[in-house]
């Protein structure tokens, strides 16, 4: 079964400095029908104005990863981590028993566009942890590039999270098709980040998502004039 | 439990202690707000100190100044200020006496007397390093 979550049906706020869409209930957007999908608790699509951002705030017991599509996001936290996250980099933070961080657009002139994903951890009270690394963008062309997962020795460099969930990124040129089997009892979420894709016959445009359950396989193709970029989250 | 962390920091050292105490509050499963007191020094004085200027640029983004609603929201405060520049904290406590009176506070920086004079109940303890600050923040937020 594939249930489409259309872009325009998401919670939406334009605060001027922040234009944000919430796939699931978050902050001032609350909809009991859209609280989470399995362990996937938050999927925010944020555009942050130059020089603006989220001031220092706390987190506890959440696996948070950020995928930048355009621009740079500056991160500071109570562990002393200070970095700028850009496209073709993965950042994952396990909030564990407590962390404080801030996130700002690193540019004074250019906007930043990002997806932020929160996954409920399988274990609580663990020490907080921060991971960030870059990868070659060719690694997500025409294939699924693992970004985060629970494996201590992943098949390719990926951030560790405390949950039986794996997130992948992919960029598909028009007509390029990939197939991904879904193990029995597993679920998945596909989020079209940019452009257009076709998921098992369903057209997804930028901002559209799809909840997938009781399917044996996914066939995903780049569509439209430029193809599409998407995240796939495999969930228990 | 709602914990308001109010600190004054120029070069980022007291900020680190305040953040550590804030992490302790999160460990105790409290909700936290972080607020930095605005400098009383004039712009020229700040400009002459490059470390202060650089940190201030960042901290002005990361924190807003405490508002009256923050004090009303809080059950517990965590207060931090360097021992040699107390004017900002003194001004805050003096001006917030009506809002903060009767609440409890962890005090990082040896100004427990100031906090007590503002009507706050000071949580016993102190901290000058990160680990102790985490433990002190956790203790304050646990309401014990």
A69-123, pLDDT tens digit by residue? 999 999 999 999 999 999 999 999 999 999 999 999 999 999 999 999 999 999 9
Task: Please answer yes or no on whether B61 and A102 come within 8 Å at the CB atom.
Answer: yes
d(CA A3, CA A218): 13
Looking only at Cα atoms, what is the longest distance across chain B?
44
User: How far apart, in Å, are the Cα atoms of B33 and each of A100, A148, B7?
Assistant: 10, 30, 11
Going residue by residue through chain B (144 aa), what tens digit of pLDDT does each one get? 999 999 999 999 999 999 999 999 999 999 999 999 999 999 999 999 999 999 999 999 999 999 999 999 999 999 999 988 899 999 999 999 999 999 999 999 989 999 999 999 999 998 999 999 999 999 999 986
Task: Please answer yes or no on whether B61 and A98 come within 8 Å at the CB atom.
Answer: no
Bridge partner residues of A48 (DSSP)? A18, A112
**From start to end of chain A, where are the E strands?**
2-5, 11-14, 18-22, 40-48, 53-59, 63-70, 73-77, 82-85, 89-94, 99-105, 112-119, 129-134, 145-149, 159-160, 165-172, 177-181, 187-199, 202-205, 209-213, 217-235
Q: What is the CA radius of gyration of chain B?
A: 14
Task: Please answer yes or no on whether B34 and A56 come within 8 Å at the CB atom.
Answer: yes
The pLDDT value given to residue B144: 66
Residue of B nearest to A105 (CA): B61
Is pLDDT at A38 greater than 70 in this prediction? yes
The pLDDT value given to residue A114: 98
- ipTM for this model: 0.93
- Residues of chain A contacting residue B20, judged by C-beta atoms under 8 Å apart: 78
Give A166's contacts (C-beta < 8 A, 6+ positions apart): A146, A148, A149, A150, A158, A233, A234
Stated length of chain A:
236
**Contact map slice: A 89-118 vs B, CB within 8 A:** 97-100, 102, 104
Domain boundaries along the sequence of chain B: 2-141
**CATH class, A2-235 region:** mainly beta
A208-224, pLDDT tens digit by residue? 999 999 999 999 999 99
Bridge partner residues of A133 (DSSP)? A90
Is residue A55 less than 8 Å (CB to CB) from chain B? yes
**CA-based end-to-end distance of chain A:** 15
Give the number of beta-carbon pairs within 8 Å between A and B.
Answer: 48
A43-75, pLDDT tens digit by residue? 999 999 999 999 999 999 999 999 999 999 999
Strands A112-119 and A63-70: antiparallel
Mean pLDDT, range A183-192, rounded to an integer: 97
Percentage of chain A exceeding pLDDT 70: 100
**DSSP single-letter state for residue A120:** -
How many Å lie between the alpha carbon of B30 and the closest alpha carbon of chain A?
A: 10
The pLDDT value given to residue B84: 86
d(CA A13, CA A22): 9
How many Å lie between the alpha carbon of B35 and the closest alpha carbon of chain A?
A: 9
The pLDDT value given to residue A186: 98
Task: Please answer yes or no on whether B23 and A104 come within 8 Å at the CB atom.
Answer: no
Average pLDDT, chain A: 97
d(CA A48, CA A13): 12
- Residues of chain A contacting residue B31, judged by C-beta atoms under 8 Å apart: 58
Least confident of A168-172, A176-180, A205-209, B83-87: B83-87
How many Å lie between the alpha carbon of B64 and the closest alpha carbon of chain A?
A: 8
- Structure tokens belonging to residue A140: 């997500």
Task: Please answer yes or no on whether B23 and A76 come within 8 Å at the CB atom.
Answer: no
**Contact map slice: B 66-125 vs A, CB within 8 A:** none
Task: Please answer yes or no on whether A58 and B26 come within 8 Å at the CB atom.
Answer: yes
The pLDDT value given to residue B85: 86
CATH of domain B2-141: 3.40.50.360
The pLDDT value given to residue A179: 97
User: How far apart, in Å, are the Cα atoms of A128 and each of A96, A118, B23, B131?
Assistant: 5, 15, 10, 14
The pLDDT value given to residue B83: 87
d(CA A227, CA A220): 11
């Amino acid at each position: 079964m594939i249930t489409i979550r259309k872009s325009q049906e998401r919670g939406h706020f334009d605060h001027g400095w922040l234009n944000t869409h919430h796939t699931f209930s978050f902050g001032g957007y609350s909809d009991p029908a859209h609280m989470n999908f399995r362990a996937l608790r938050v999927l925010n699509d944020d555009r942050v104005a130059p020089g603006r951002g989220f001031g220092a705030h706390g987190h506890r017991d959440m696996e948070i990863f950020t995928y930048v599509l355009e621009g740079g996001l500056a991160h500071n936290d109570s562990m002393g981590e200070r970095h700028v996250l850009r496209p073709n980099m993965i950042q994952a933070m396990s909030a564990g028993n407590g962390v404080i961080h801030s996130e700002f657009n690193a540019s004074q002139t250019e906007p930043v566009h990002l997806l932020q994903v929160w996954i409920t951890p399988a274990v609580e009270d663990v020490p907080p942890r921060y991971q960030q690394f870059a990868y070659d963008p060719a690694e997500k062309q025409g294939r699924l590039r693992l970004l985060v997962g629970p494996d201590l020795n992943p098949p390719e460099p990926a951030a560790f999270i405390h949950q039986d969930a794996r997130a992948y990124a992919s960029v598909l040129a028009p007509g390029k098709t990939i197939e991904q089997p879904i193990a029995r009892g597993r679920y998945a979420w596909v989020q079209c980040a940019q452009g257009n894709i076709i998921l098992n016959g369903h057209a997804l445009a930028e901002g559209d998502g799809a909840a997938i359950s009781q399917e044996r396989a996914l066939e995903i193709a780049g569509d439209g004039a430029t193809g599409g970029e998407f995240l796939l989250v495999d969930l228990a | 439990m709602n914990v308001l962390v109010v600190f004054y920091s120029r070069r980022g050292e007291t900020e680190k202690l305040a953040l550590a105490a804030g992490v302790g509050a999160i460990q105790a499963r409290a909700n936290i707000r972080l607020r930095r007191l605005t400098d009383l020094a004039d712009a020229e004085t700040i400009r002459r100190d490059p470390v202060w200027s650089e940190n201030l640029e960042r901290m002005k983004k990361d924190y807003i100044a405490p508002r009256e609603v923050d004090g009303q929201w809080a059950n517990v405060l965590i207060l931090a200020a360097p021992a040699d520049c107390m004017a900002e904290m003194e001004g805050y406590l003096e001006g917030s006496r009506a809002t903060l009176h009767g609440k409890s506070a962890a005090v990082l920086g040896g100004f427990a007397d100031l906090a007590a004079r503002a009507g706050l109940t000071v949580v016993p303890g102190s901290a000058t390093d990160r680990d102790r600050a985490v433990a002190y923040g956790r203790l304050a937020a646990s309401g014990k």
